[in-house]
Structure 1
């Protein structure tokens, strides 16, 4: 029942309106007093709640003494709501963009929660017109793979550096094999993830195990450039390592205090 109430509230019903309408579906026609008694809506508020349901076209008044109430059938309510919201979106699509001001390219949007970060990442992927640059981790693959495959079919040029998931391809994929993902994760404090498109927009996110995911999204050309170059750099390091071998790369930095700090994010103690 809570799931039904949650969805009705998304469509503009208050918690009490949800209880009253569902209560009437179960038992009707009944008086306002009976609705209150059966549903737990306070008697002091029941007639205000019923009035709002009448305004929504969700219930009928049944002429009687005393007055009773009855719901419109659930199918009719769903269809009425569907039509109403479709009409609302039609009006918004027609008029809202016309008053939208030119957005400043240096605005930075801050995003919180795993769900919203993934949603914004998918928006970047789906908005790409020519090319897409990705730095992602294995845990994100199931959430974006279908969208990536669709963009490949759309002939979007996709370059990705992937941590883990050695058998997965996300466009033209280079797997981060030189350094274990755990070392990178420790240095960055989580799974640093980047999605940049067309040299125009970038999402920079971090997924952590002990806190909420966060991200920033912007069209600032400097940040888009830095993020894209970061991915290019990672790809080149992987290719250099494959060509010359990991031992030579290890020898370059493991005995050098300063380079070790650069690579691992902490100094020798």
Structure 2
């Protein structure tokens, strides 16, 4: 694409798309800015298409139509050059800036809606209530589901079903967090701060020791390759991390999670 903002804009459009898929309201202002960007992008694509067609016309025009084809090509080349040399870049950059500003304004309401939906799914499936019945999936002796008790099997089923519903909410949450400059785990052990923050997003660890243990598990989840003991939790990760360390799964807004981390760490 013409601009370095292309990657940023794909992320921005991804936020809007993920929010829309969740059934969360996308304000008219955001939809209007998406349209402005798409129109700007189409203008460049149209200029390129016109140039290609005019260039082809030079090769196929009849002799008595060549002058007209030449004039059309010169105009198409001039229009495309205008885009390439700055006008198109400025237009798209402006559209990206406008869209990102609109998303920034809308994101607090989106974040709140995601948190509410996420925690409603947790409550609906009683994930915290049945967490104590989850078997130790890190124990290779328990890989065979036939060894589960009825309570253990029910807990695993609830967590797997709920995780399928939580995943798109979590992905949308992470997109918003990235838009605001946050990195969300699991990530590898080189980024302890991110894993600690993520542990607090997923719930309230209560103590520094619990926070460090949860962050350590997130670090293992973010490593490549993952240890087998961690990989066996993949289908319900990272949501299962809090309950594996004795605190409830309860998604918090970014600002609230930052406050939780400060309190737990005594900062």
Per the normalisation by structure 2, the TM-score is 0.30
Look at both structures and tell me which one has the larger radius of gyration over its CA atoms. Answer: 1
- Greater RCO (Cα-Cα under 8 Å, separation 6 or more): 2
Per the normalisation by structure 1, the TM-score is 0.29
